[in-house]
Amino acid sequence: MLEFEAKIKIIVIGLVLTMLSAVPIMAQEMICEYCQEEIGSGEYFNLDGKYFHAGHLFCTYCDKPIKSEFNYSGDEYYHLKCYDKHVALRCDLCGEKINGKYVTDYWGNKVHVSHQDDGEPECAYCGRFIGEQLSRGGYRLSDDRIVCGICNETAVSDDDAAQFLMSEVGDVMATLGINVDIANVTLHLVSKPEMTQKSEGNGDGHLGLTTSKYEAETRKLVGGSQVFILFGLPKYSFIKVMAHELMHVWMAENRCVKGSKIISEGSCNYTAYLVLQKYDHPNARYELDSMERSRSKTYGSGFRALRAFVEDYGFDFWLEYIKSNRELPSKTNIRAD
Ligand SMILES: [Zn+2]
Ligand SMILES: [Zn+2]
Ligand SMILES: [Zn+2]
Ligand SMILES: [Zn+2]
Ligand SMILES: [Zn+2]
């Protein structure tokens, strides 16, 4: 959420002028801005030294003449009703007028700062405030996560849908040249407490987790990999997490050495980034943008360091490099952020 001052929108709020009667002595010097004729006698508007005959000042919204009170800013004039109904900035959450500061989310919704201060809930996955109009309502999942109605429409909540998307992500990765044996992956949709338990307490806030067992000496996989993903993620969040976890599987299948978090998590998020780029959808772009902006050392900077590394050394080199290296070349780390 970013904070803005509503004043960037044009209108001088609450500045109301009423018609004045012409003063004969002054009339000689007063020229109507609209018709360029002298005001002469009769009613006119005086707006900071700009004059208009009554009937020669028009509402910017409805084009009809303004006869009495109005709001204006610069060269735009509005009937009070037109302004209030059609022009005034309105809060996308409560519908009331915004005077002064407001916050805007990624999607361009503008809401009163007070809603944020009051701790009104935001969607965990797209950052929208939860409101009937704004987000088509919202839901509290059984593990207390709050998801908006829009995200809920694509929520991945059953095994069939999850399995289908796992195959799809596997196919996209294969077209990139990252081949994962999906048949050897068991997928589990889990709740937040289950995720925390699976990751032995380190999974707070994690959306996904992969576990693979190796023979200690050969690093050969024993059995398949287990992928755990939170239930109820909206489609493109799920795709991002799925691609990330499948890259962990790829690293396990290819007996990669256990590298630093930067190189392992960075590689997985870079894979998610490549996969999301294959989807032309606003929510895919939202996920990509949050990766670009992420301040996390591992998932943000690590990802960007990996991307810089691949740009420098090439895609195939990356996939070979991570098999036997625990760190990125130091020059790449310096380039990140
Ligand atoms: Zn005129
Ligand atoms: Zn009007
Ligand atoms: Zn509001
Ligand atoms: Zn949402
Ligand atoms: Zn990871």
The predicted-structure confidence for 74-121, as pLDDT tens digits, reads as follows 788 888 888 888 888 889 999 998 877 889 999 999 999 999 888 888
Which amino acid appears at position 111 of this protein? V
Cα(71) to centroid of ligand 3, in Å?
22
Cα(106) to centroid of ligand 5, in Å?
25
CA distance 98 to 291: 31
CATH topology for 2-87?
A: Cysteine Rich Protein (2.10.110)
Cα(76) to centroid of ligand 1, in Å?
17
Among all ligands shown, which has an atom nearest to the Cα of 262?
5
CA distance 188 to 158: 10
Cα(267) to centroid of ligand 5, in Å?
9
Question: Distance of CA 311 to CAs 243, 269, 272, 306, Å?
Answer: 20, 15, 16, 9
Q: Residue 223: its pLDDT value, please?
A: 84
Question: Distance of CA 83 to CAs 33, 97, 265, Å?
Answer: 22, 11, 52
Among all ligands shown, which has an atom nearest to the Cα of 33?
1
Cα(28) to centroid of ligand 1, in Å?
14
Cα(125) to centroid of ligand 3, in Å?
21
Question: Distance of CA 18 to CAs 14, 30, 251, Å?
Answer: 13, 17, 74
pLDDT in tens, 116-137: 888 888 999 999 999 999 999 9
Strand-pair partners of 185: 225
Q: Residue 119: its pLDDT value, please?
A: 84
pLDDT per residue of the chain (337 residues) written in tens, 0 to 9 = 455 443 323 333 333 445 554 444 454 578 889 999 988 777 888 877 788 888 899 999 999 998 888 887 778 888 888 888 888 888 999 999 887 788 999 999 999 999 988 888 899 999 999 999 999 999 999 999 999 999 999 999 999 999 999 999 999 999 999 999 999 999 999 999 999 988 876 656 789 999 988 887 777 888 889 999 999 999 999 999 999 999 999 999 998 888 899 999 999 999 999 999 999 999 999 999 999 999 999 899 999 999 999 999 999 999 999 999 999 987 655 444 4
Cα(244) to centroid of ligand 5, in Å?
6
Among all ligands shown, which has an atom nearest to the Cα of 58?
2
Cα(87) to centroid of ligand 3, in Å?
16
Question: What residues does the ion ligand 1 have nearby, CB within 5 Å?
Answer: 32, 34-35, 53, 56
Q: What is the domain partition of the chain in residue ranges? A: 2-87, 104-152, 159-335
Cα(243) to centroid of ligand 5, in Å?
10
Q: Residue 230: its pLDDT value, please?
A: 97
Q: Residue 7: its pLDDT value, please?
A: 31
Cα(52) to centroid of ligand 1, in Å?
6
- Give the global pTM: 0.79
Cα(235) to centroid of ligand 3, in Å?
29
Cα(23) to centroid of ligand 2, in Å?
27
Which tokens belong to 95?
């519908």
